[in-house]
Amino acid sequence: MKNEKDNVDSVLTVAGFSFAGSGQNSGMAFIKLKDWKERNTPDRSANAIIGRAMGYLFSIKEAQVFAFNLPPIPELGTATGFDFFLQDRAGVGHDKLMAARNQLLGMAAQDPNLVRVRPNGMEDTPQLDIKIDYEKALAQGLSISDINSTLSSAWGSAYVNDFVDRGRVKKVYLQADAPFRMNPEDLKLWYVRNSAGQMVPFSAFASTDWSFGSPRLERYNGVPAMEIVGEAAPGKSTGDAMAAIEQMVKQLPEGIGIEWTGLSYQERQAGSQAPALYAISLLVVFLCLAALYESWSIPFSVMLVVPLGVLGAIVAATLRGLENDVYFQVGLLTTIGLSAKNAILIVEFAKELYDRGMGLSEAVVEAARLRLRPILMTSLAFILGVLPLVISTGAGASSRNAIGTGVMGGMISATVLAIFFVPLFFVLVMRYFTKHSTKQARLAHAEEIKHD
């Protein structure tokens, strides 16, 4: 932290509690960074600081410490990235579930799509097991409930009642005095009253042993589970990271599975809808063009230019190392409409000239020449309009960068390539799909001109 004093404004530490659970061996810290204006270089960004912090924290062998950003929606998780539960669906036991977790973390550490994959729970700690010989206990007139009650009251606590002290209600708890519950050997000092009213020492029917176990046993959807969180590598989307995790889970022992939770669950639910939404968007554009041209084939010459704009958006986002997030997808929908707009300017004039009797090749060349300046002017105006989004910095800049970069790349690609490919697509569609109908339309249009 001393090395980051120029970037850190304040630090709040909490001992004995963390997002993963509470205990003597847990803790967390909230770090408030200085204002964006004071951290105006890439090496002073939050992600850069987290990367340097993780490099140091991994060198601590006595503890597991992780640094991460808070989630965009606090109610749906405790960190950015993805979140899932590793489940024991076949009842293989805690030890095998822990081994599967470690195997998954090892594979995730070597995957280029993932960074900072970590367990979000309490690690196994030494635990004192008290083994009860039930035959000896029953022989001495002891019941299991009496033994459990004595243990829980002495080594834990038991609520008794309330009392009023100087006008305030206070609670009464029963608990053994600290000096008599500090060591495992102290168990021999305790007695349990049997059914005959006699005091029986624990040493007569119980023994102690050390083991390792989780201080907090979690269940998810009714089965034992362990929570794991992580983030996508720079330039990778959370969808890529989640797909990589699902491939790794297939290599785990039988009976081990995962369930996405938090924002990851919502993303997985909504992710399957993205192809349908894109298809609906293209269908709406196609139907509008079909109504405009009164033809089912001519709109294809416009729709075929859409992939050129999408290609430019993807290339631009890849070169900048941006993720395929919801902001980029919004920009992609915008690119689809703008790409079609440029193609419409050429197709509309080419169809009109062709219907007037001009040759097909001459019509598309003349249309491209006439509409070149309007296409360049509108495209350049829009590209310059989204430029502030592309170079935006500060709070919330990532969302603006994603939208601006996708739209700018798509517009550049669609503008440059559409000038050459739209005439080609129009000629191909007119030659191979609209021969009969176009011939009749041209004859009717020629007759109309004669009568005029």
Q: Binning pLDDT at 50, 70 and 90, where does residue 2 land?
A: low
Domains of the chain with bracketed CATH:
1-67 (3.30.70.1430), 72-116+226-271 (3.30.70.1440), 125-213 (3.30.2090.10), 273-451 (1.20.1640.10)
Type and span of the H or E element at 14: strand 8-18
What is the rounded distance in angstroms from the CA atom of residue 80 to the CA atom of residue 68?
Answer: 7
Structure tokens at 77: 């998780």
Structure tokens at 55: 């490099």
The whole-number pLDDT of residue 248 equals: 92
Type and span of the H or E element at 374: helix 360-390
Structure tokens at 198: 């006699």
The one-letter amino acid code at 250 reads K
Structure tokens at 223: 């089965």
In angstroms, how far is the first alpha carbon of the chain from the final one? 85
In this prediction, residues 389-410 reach a mean pLDDT of: 84
Q: Number of helices (H) and strands (E), helices first, in the chain?
A: 13, 13
In this prediction, residues 376-393 reach a mean pLDDT of: 87
Tell me: the pLDDT tens digits for 280-298?
A: 888 888 888 888 777 787 8
pLDDT at 40 over 80: no
The whole-number pLDDT of residue 369 equals: 85
Question: Taking the C-alpha atoms of 38, 42, 44 and 50 in order, what is their torsion angle to the nearest 10 degrees?
Answer: 140
Q: Binning pLDDT at 50, 70 and 90, where does residue 436 land?
A: very low
pLDDT at 214 over 80: no
Q: Chain-wide mean pLDDT for the chain?
A: 82
Site of tokens 């350049």: 380
The one-letter amino acid code at 172 reads V
What is the rounded distance in angstroms from the CA atom of residue 452 to the CA atom of residue 443?
Answer: 14
Q: Could you please report the per-residue DSSP string of 226-252? A: EEEEEEEPTT--HHHHHHHHHHHHTTS
pLDDT at 20 over 70: no
pLDDT at 324 over 80: no
Structure tokens at 197: 């009213």
Contact 16, 5 (CB under 8 A): no
Q: Binning pLDDT at 50, 70 and 90, where does residue 172 land?
A: very high
pLDDT at 123 over 50: yes
Which residues in 235-349 belong to E strands, given as ranges? 256-260
User: Bridge partners of 33?
Assistant: 8
The dihedral built from the CA positions of residue 250, 251, 255 and 258, taken in this order, carries a sign that is: negative
Tell me: the pLDDT tens digits for 55-100?
A: 788 778 777 787 877 766 555 555 567 889 999 998 888 889 989 9
pLDDT at 279 over 60: yes
pLDDT at 450 over 60: no
Contact 255, 88 (CB under 8 A): yes
User: Which residues have C-beta within 8 Å of that of residue 67, sequence separation ≥ 6?
Assistant: 50, 53, 54, 57
User: Bridge partners of 87?
Assistant: 225, 257
User: Bridge partners of 231?
Assistant: 115
Question: Considering the entire predicted model, what is its pTM?
Answer: 0.58
Cβ-based burial of 392 (10 A; exposed 0-12, middle 13-18, buried ≥19)? middle
What is the rounded distance in angstroms from the CA atom of residue 43 to the CA atom of residue 50?
Answer: 10
The whole-number pLDDT of residue 238 equals: 81
User: Which residues have C-beta within 8 Å of that of residue 79, sequence separation ≥ 6?
Assistant: 19, 68, 69, 70, 71, 120, 229, 231
Type and span of the H or E element at 22: strand 21-33
pLDDT at 124 over 80: no
The CA–CA distances, whole Å, from 432 to 58, 307, 353, 426 equal 64, 21, 19, 10
What is the rounded distance in angstroms from the CA atom of residue 103 to the CA atom of residue 360?
Answer: 65
Contact 393, 401 (CB under 8 A): no
Q: Could you please report the per-residue DSSP string of 24-87? A: EEEEEEEEEEPPGGG--SGGGSHHHHHHHHHHHHTT-SS------PPPSSGGG-SSSSEEEEEE
What angle separates helix 397-432 from helix 306-319, to the nearest 10 degrees?
Answer: 150
